[in-house]
Amino acid sequence: MPEEPGAIITIAEVKTLLQITGDSKDDLIEMLIPIVESDLLEYLNNDFDEDYPEGLKGYLASMIGYKAKKDHGVVLSETVSRYSVTYGSGAEFIAGYPATIMSGLSKWRKVRW
């Protein structure tokens, strides 16, 4: 599959970072890359005059992995005996993604005036 020109991350890089083998999710990943990249760049408000920092790839892969899941609930706690799960509320999200993923992006974020 051809990669989108100017893309921050490739399908192969996403699969490596998320430890995905096989090609069953390639179409989904290919579709999500530009969507998540757009979300990321809008959140960062940074056009990156030079090349994109390599460090963004890990965050992008995590964001793509989150979007690729069918269940977008963030599990806060889980009990095995008499199985129970506690999901997070909207307070744990930033720009539609889990705060645990987004919190490390502040070093590249530019303030909007």
- The answer to whether 66 and 97 have CB atoms below 8 angstroms apart is yes
pLDDT digits (tens, 9 = 90+) for 42-87: 999 988 887 899 999 999 999 999 999 866 566 667 777 878 777 6
Rounded to an integer, what is the distance from CA 18 to the centroid of its chain?
Answer: 10
Q: Where are the domains of the chain?
A: 11-106
Q: What per-residue confidence (pLDDT) applies to 88? A: 64
- Where are the extended beta strands (E) located within the chain? 75-79, 84-87, 93-94, 97-98
SS3 11: helix
| Distance in angstroms (rounded) separating the CA atoms of residues 104 and 113 | 22
